[in-house]
Amino acid sequence: MLLRHTPTEISDRKTLVINPAKTCQPIGAMYAALGVKGCLPHSHGSQGCCAYHRSMLTRHYKEPVSAATSSFTEGASVFGGQANLIQAINNIFTVYEPEVIAVHTTCLSETIGDDLTQIITKASKEGKIPEGKTVFGAPTPSYVGSHVTGFSNMVKAMAQLAEPTSQKNGKVNIIPGWVEPCDMEEIKRLCSMIGVDITMFPDTSGVLNGPLSGEYKMFPDGGVTIKELKEAGQATGTIALGEWCSADGARWLDSKHKVPCTVLDMPFGLKATDRFIDVLRTVAGASIPESVSYERGQLVDMISDMHQYLYGKKVAIYGDPDQLISMVEFLRSIDMCPVYVVTGTPGKKFEKRIKELTADMPYECKVKAKGDMFLMHQWIKNEPVDLLMGNSYGKYIARDEDIPFLRWGFPITDRQGHQYFPTVGYKGGLRLLEKILGLLMDRIDRDTPEETFELVL
């Protein structure tokens, strides 16, 4: 493998990224848009961008992802893409009949300076948007931030659909952040167990993890409706899961519509799930049902039963900031040691938070925002770890360094199951532990000499 040649000597690189730990903004915007019912995401730029974003989502979710493009050629690249987008809106509603078109920009349309709000308003004035249909959009320049920023920008654009109101409908807005469709299902299940009536946006459950029914639906049944988004200002509160993915949309609803928001960590692991459940309980004014306490107890039981195999194990982990913060906290809570933590997404606050979460660790934690996988590989070469966690791109490092590898995050292009088995909540914590333990114990079985090879571990 080529990565075998990664040097151990670490040099200071300011203008060179090697093997990025992130991808571009529109992918996040496209994923978020798929969580709106009857929505066709639209990429305002060249065809290549759209093809790349669709294919990455299709490879991860193993579902056909449809999206349209403004299909820029030389003319649009020089004179602007307004004419292309207006024609595209007309064509899409005529041919595919979606309820909603969610437009995101690309590097090219941002560099030209296309103004989505102005173009969409013009399309509306010209009668290109049929009665009862919606077009909205978000700027997603890829030379800023990462796919996480694009997701957040599209979520904020959804929040901006909320209409002014003085009414309250007793519901709670939940912004789940970039998690799997099954994680969104699991969050909804926990809310219903506690008795909280919610509007979740975006909601890709039932869109990207639906059943094979024999009938093709271009617009699957899942997703938040435009009516629900318009009524988001009537909610009694918003719970945003993840500072990077979800907070902007929640804060916008707070400042514009006086819907108070609470920003929490994503509910991966015991402590973050406890905090989420506690806020739900407070919002609902309910006590925690026995069924939720039971699930929590099962997770605590598995942690205490298996602690001996987890204690002190060193982990290298990379991915997106919101997921990493909760996962690092979870790993520390089970006495594992996340010694290397890398995200490609910028954010000094991220490094500070990880340092705080690992302050009690017996080893120093090396953490880098706006980092890359090349650096993580160099750290590993200098001081090996017991487990590597992250998306499918880590398989090259895992193979070259012979490290057990847990696929987690986005994208996972070479395994199945992530769309169906949640890793949030207490049940998700069990699933994560099962996977971590399976890898560590497989390694024990592989490396143990015959005389100590045990049937029972």
Q: Which residues bind ligand SF4 (CB under 6 A)?
A: 24, 26, 49, 52, 106-107, 142
3-class state of residue 317 by DSSP: strand
Cβ of residue 387: shortest distance to ligand SF4, in angstroms? 31
* Cβ atoms 345, 367 nearer than 8 A: no
Nearer to ligand SF4, 29 or 259 (CB): 29
* Cβ atoms 370, 341 nearer than 8 A: no
Nearer to ligand SF4, 153 or 358 (CB): 153
Cβ of residue 393: shortest distance to ligand SF4, in angstroms? 17
Amino acid code (one letter) for 244: W
Other beta carbons less than 10 A from residue 113's beta carbon: 7
Q: Which tokens belong to 400?
A: 């070259």
3-class state of residue 105 by DSSP: strand
Amino acid code (one letter) for 151: F
Cβ of residue 44: shortest distance to ligand SF4, in angstroms? 10
User: What is the per-residue burial (b if ≥16 Cβ within 10 Å, else e) of 14-30?
Assistant: eeeeebebbbbbbbbbb
For residue 48, what is the enclosing H or E element? helix 47-61
Torsion of the alpha carbons at 305, 308, 313 and 315, rounded to the nearest 10: 0
Amino acid code (one letter) for 406: L
Nearer to ligand SF4, 26 or 41 (CB): 26
Nearer to ligand SF4, 49 or 440 (CB): 49
> Any idea which residue has 């989420």 for tokens?
276
Cβ of residue 138: shortest distance to ligand SF4, in angstroms? 13
Cβ of residue 283: shortest distance to ligand SF4, in angstroms? 38
- Cα(448)–Cα(440) distance, integer angstroms: 12
Nearer to ligand SF4, 26 or 425 (CB): 26
Cβ of residue 63: shortest distance to ligand SF4, in angstroms? 21
* Cβ atoms 429, 330 nearer than 8 A: yes
Nearer to ligand SF4, 69 or 391 (CB): 69
Q: Which tokens belong to 409?
A: 């995050």
Cβ of residue 107: shortest distance to ligand SF4, in angstroms? 3
For residue 162, the number of C-alpha atoms closer than 13 Å in the C-beta half-sphere is 29
406 DSSP 8-state letter: E
Cβ of residue 45: shortest distance to ligand SF4, in angstroms? 6
Nearer to ligand SF4, 39 or 107 (CB): 107
Cβ of residue 111: shortest distance to ligand SF4, in angstroms? 9
* C-alpha dist (Å) from residue 443 to 98, 438, 439, 450: 50, 9, 6, 14
Amino acid code (one letter) for 129: I
Cβ of residue 422: shortest distance to ligand SF4, in angstroms? 29
Alpha-carbon 287 to chain mean position = 30
Nearer to ligand SF4, 20 or 210 (CB): 20
For residue 199, the number of C-alpha atoms closer than 13 Å in the C-beta half-sphere is 26
3-class state of residue 302 by DSSP: helix
Nearer to ligand SF4, 37 or 53 (CB): 53
* C-alpha dist (Å) from residue 21 to 145, 163, 342, 391: 12, 37, 8, 9
Cβ of residue 54: shortest distance to ligand SF4, in angstroms? 11
Nearer to ligand SF4, 52 or 309 (CB): 52
Cβ of residue 152: shortest distance to ligand SF4, in angstroms? 16
Q: Which tokens belong to 281?
A: 């309980």
- Cα(201)–Cα(309) distance, integer angstroms: 38
**Bond preceding residue 202 cis, omega within 30 of 0:** yes
- Cα(3)–Cα(18) distance, integer angstroms: 11
